[in-house]
């Protein structure tokens, strides 16, 4: 669907397309920063650096909030483009690229590929971090279990000269 002349007399759609390019570009930069913070989170998990982990987690929450605002801006801009372009359904980036001139279309396609690539890398890193967290929890659980089975100093003789060791909990309260 190409934009019609009467819908674009004052250049409104071009302005909206420029705004959309800016918003998606800002999202790409934010995703790049998010990916970097996930890498920092991964390093903190590996090093068991609780202070850095807390700082990074807080920063990640801020990035998610910023991302939500940018997403809202993008949705509003796309809705305006849809309305002015005369489209009945939701628009995809491909459809918007068809509406745009060659320069804007190329920018949008490049940004789409960048965002999709970043999203893929974010998902991969996020999954790795989740596995690291699972491993940490498992190690903590195993350590607590081992501490709960420290042998006491009591030894009892069993029949036929065998020795039985008693395991006495060392006061670890396992209730949660």
Query: What CATH number did the domain enclosing 66 receive?
Result: 1.20.58
25 belongs to a structural domain: yes
- The mean pLDDT of the chain is 83
Total number of domains constituting the chain: 1
Confirm whether 49 is domain-assigned.
yes
Q: In whole angstroms, give the CA distance from residue 108 to residue 87.
A: 19
Residue 168 lies in a domain: no
* Phi, psi of 167, rounded to the nearest 5 degrees: -105, 125
Q: Is the pLDDT of residue 157 over 90?
A: no
Distance CA 124, CA 141 (A): 26
Summarised one tens digit per residue, pLDDT across range 31-82 is 999 999 999 999 998 898 999 999 999 999 999 999 999 999 999 999 999 8
Please give the residue range of the domain that contains residue 136: 5-149
DSSP state of 7: G
- Which pLDDT score, from 0 to 100, does residue 64 have? 94
Is residue 162 in some structural domain? no
**Confidence band, pLDDT 50/70/90 cuts, at residue 6:** very low
- Residue 161 lies inside a defined structural domain of this protein: no
4 pLDDT tier (thresholds 50, 70, 90): very low
Looking from the CA of 157 toward its CB, the CA atoms found within 13 Å total 3
């Amino acid at each position: 669907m190409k934009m019609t002349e009467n819908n674009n007399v004052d250049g409104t759609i071009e302005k909206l397309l420029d705004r959309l390019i800016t918003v998606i570009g800002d999202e790409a930069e934010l995703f790049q920063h998010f990916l970097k913070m996930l890498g920092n989170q991964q390093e903190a998990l590996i090093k068991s650096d609780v202070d850095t982990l807390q700082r990074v987690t807080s920063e990640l929450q801020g990035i998610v909030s910023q991302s939500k605002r940018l997403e809202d801006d993008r949705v509003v801009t796309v809705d305006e483009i849809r309305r002015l372009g005369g489209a009945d359904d939701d628009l995809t980036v491909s459809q918007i690229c068809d509406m745009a001139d060659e320069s804007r279309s190329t920018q949008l396609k490049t940004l789409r590929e960048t965002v999709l690539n970043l999203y893929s890398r974010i998902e991969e890193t996020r999954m790795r971090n989740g596995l690291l967290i699972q491993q940490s929890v498992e190690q903590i659980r195993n350590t607590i279990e081992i501490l709960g089975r420290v042998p006491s100093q009591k030894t009892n003789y069993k029949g036929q000269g065998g020795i039985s060791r008693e395991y006495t909990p060392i006061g670890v309260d396992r209730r949660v």
